C-alpha cells in the first residue's frame, strides 16, 4: 500500500510574501487617495488587483516561486517609495 505524498507548505515564506504584497497594496491605495484623477485612480486600482491576482496564483509549496514573488513586490514597493521621495 502506497501513501500519498503531502506537499510541504512553506507557511513562513508565504506569509512573508503576503506581508510585502500587503504593504505594496497599501502604497497603491495611498496613491489612489492622493489624486483626484479618475484615470490615475483606475490605474492604481488595477495595480492593487494585479498584486492580489499574483498572490493568489503563487504556489504555496514552491519556495522559489514564493521568493521570486516577494522580491518582485519588494522591488515595486521600493521603486514607488523612491519615486515618492523625489516628488
Query: What's the confidence (pLDDT) of residue 74?
Result: 98
Residue 1 has pLDDT above 80, yes or no: no
Are 27 and 81 a contacting pair, CB within 8 Å?
A: yes
Are 77 and 20 a contacting pair, CB within 8 Å?
A: yes
Tell me the per-residue pLDDT of 6-54, one tens digit each, with 9 for 90 and over.
678 789 999 999 999 999 999 999 999 999 999 999 999 999 999 999 9
Query: What's the confidence (pLDDT) of residue 29?
Result: 97
- DSSP states of 15-83: HHHHHHHHHHHHHHHHHHHT---HHHHHHHHHHHHHHHHHHHHS-TT-HHHHHHHHHHHHHHHHHHHHH
Q: pLDDT band for 5, please (50, 70, 90 cuts).
A: confident
Amino acid at each position: 500500500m502506497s501513501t500519498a505524498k503531502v506537499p510541504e507548505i512553506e507557511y513562513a515564506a508565504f506569509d512573508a510574501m503576503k506581508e510585502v504584497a500587503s504593504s505594496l497594496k497599501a502604497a497603491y491605495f495611498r496613491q489612489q487617495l492622493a489624486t483626484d484623477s479618475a484615470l490615475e485612480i483606475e490605474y492604481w486600482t488595477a495595480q492593487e488587483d494585479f498584486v492580489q491576482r499574483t498572490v493568489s496564483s503563487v504556489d504555496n509549496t514552491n519556495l522559489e516561486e514564493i521568493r521570486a514573488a516577494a522580491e518582485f513586490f519588494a522591488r515595486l514597493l521600493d521603486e514607488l517609495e523612491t519615486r515618492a521621495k523625489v516628488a
